[in-house]
Amino acid sequence: MANSSITRRSIVKGMALGAAGAVLAPSIVARGQTVLRINAGMLPILNGPVYIALREKYFEKLGLDVNLIKFTSGPSQFAALAGGQSHLGWGGMGAYLIAKANGQDLQSIAVFMDYNKLQALVVPKNSPIKSVQDLKGKKIAAVQGSDAHYGLWKLLQNNGMAKDAAQLVGMTPTQQIAAFNAGDVDGVYTWEPFVTPMLKAGGREITRMSDLDPGPSFLNWAGRKAWLEQNPDAIVRLLHGWNQGLEKMKQDPEMAIRYTLDFTGMAREQADAIIKNLVHFEATAALDPKSPAYWAKGSKLHTVLADFLKFGNEFGLAQKIINIDDYLMTQFMEKVKKG
């Protein structure tokens, strides 16, 4: 459990703290630097660079007060962004693009993680499901409109099956676990830290998102365009702090796990499973043509996310077709790259 000072200062739960701009925080920073606050949505995953940057005061030394708001999936983050409870959210790029296609003026500032190896379709130990073809007529739980929903759609498509060959049962991750344990669904397509408990309980893995090569599960930080344009200094400081936290995590992976346990409350075995397969990128990776996170028209990431939006349109999850070419705002990364 996190100590009380970290909980009060760094984790804000459902408080409307204002979204017109980055606000002044009461911290004291060397050289008289103005301190800016960012209220950022977080998923309860292993995000070592952020937790390290908070606990080791990297953000504070950069003149930034980052307050984390806990969510378990993208839709609740979108509501908080729209309502002004948060300035930024982090999560799967595909889900954010669907929200953008539904009218939210969201833009990405950087691609931070590859989470594809950490999403899986799991069935109970004694399930008759042995292959993708066995999914026909079965109930599969997933968050509607999520990477996992896309993964199920693509899995069926790649095996010559209709999109409704398996029945999607829309559930939050915690509901999925309960339904899995109760035998109310035939399988669950979800992400860590929810995969490990099912496997520990005897569940069998049918496929991983990474089998799609590439899968869509790249995580980004994104916010409303107007706020981002009004607060470039706050974003640049955030990206610098991320890089500092990432460098420290490379030197001391155990620190990332320890802080993750404090911030998220997940079990140690879950954190261990995540850190083995989670790929972190430097804040400017989307500018690098050699990186899997590279963002440009025709890049692998751009192509799979264009397909994700097609999936959203096909299922009626995305109200309109949008041009995704400029979804990622590169000016903040370019400033970081220049130092």
pLDDT at site 12: 38
pLDDT band at 42 (very low <50, low <70, confident <90, very high): confident
Q: Which residues contact 67 (CB under 8 A, 6 or more apart)?
A: 9, 10, 11, 12, 17, 37, 38, 39, 40
Calculate mean pLDDT across residues 2-31: 39
State the pLDDT confidence band at 171, using cuts at 50, 70 and 90: very high
pLDDT at 131: 94
Give the CATH fold of the 4-114+217-338 domain: D-Maltodextrin-Binding Protein; domain 2 (3.40.190)
Q: What is the mean pLDDT of residues 282-295?
A: 98
In this structure, which amino acid lies at residue 155?
L
Confidence tier at 339 by pLDDT (50, 70, 90): confident
- Has residue 16 got a pLDDT over 80? no
Residue-wise pLDDT for 99-116, tens only, equals: 999 999 999 999 999 999
Domain ranges of the chain: 4-114+217-338, 117-212
- Residue 273, classified by CB atoms within 10 Å of its CB into exposed (0-12), middle (13-18) or buried (19+), is buried
Whole-number pLDDT of residue 31: 55
Residue 15 has pLDDT above 70, yes or no: no
Q: How confident is the model at residue 175 (pLDDT cuts 50, 70, 90)?
A: very high
- Whether 191 shows a pLDDT value over 50: the answer reads yes
Instruction: Output Rg (C-alpha) for the chain, integer angstroms.
Output: 20
The answer to whether the CB of 247 falls within 8 A of the CB of 51 is no
Residue with tokens 């916010």: 223
With 60 as the cut, is the pLDDT of residue 245 above it?
Answer: yes
Angle at 167 between CA 180 and CA 321, to 5 degrees: 120
Residues facing residue 10 across a β-bridge: none
At residue 1, does pLDDT exceed 80?
A: no
Confidence (pLDDT) at 76: 83
- Maximum alpha-carbon separation in the chain: 65
Q: In the structure encoding, which two tokens stand for residue 38, read together?
A: 């960012």
Dist CA 110 CA 284 (whole Å)? 7
Q: Which residues pair with 88 in a beta bridge?
A: 40, 223
Please determine whether the domains at 4-114+217-338 and 117-212 fall in the same fold group of CATH: yes
pLDDT digits (tens, 9 = 90+) for 65-103: 999 998 876 778 899 999 999 999 988 999 999 999 999
User: Omega before 214 cis (within 30°)?
Assistant: yes
Question: What fold, for 117-212?
Answer: D-Maltodextrin-Binding Protein; domain 2 (3.40.190)
pLDDT value for 18: 39
Q: What is the pLDDT of residue 71?
A: 86
State the DSSP string of 87-147. Answer: SEEEEEHHHHHHHHHTT--EEEEEEEEE-GGGEEEEE-TT-S--SGGGGTT-EEEE-TTSH
Contact 192, 270 (CB under 8 A): yes
- For 30, residues 6+ apart whose C-beta sits below 8 A from its C-beta are 61
pLDDT given at position 45:
84
- What percent of the chain shows pLDDT beyond 90? 79
Structural element, H or E, at residue 148 = helix 147-158
Q: Is the dihedral of CA 62, 67, 73, 79 positive or negative?
A: negative
Provide the mean pLDDT of the chain: 89
pLDDT at 29 over 70: no
Full-model pTM: 0.86
What mean pLDDT is predicted for residues 199-208?
95
* pLDDT tops 70 at residue 11: no
Helix ranges (DSSP H) in 252-297? 253-264, 268-277
Give the pLDDT band (50/70/90) at residue 300: very high
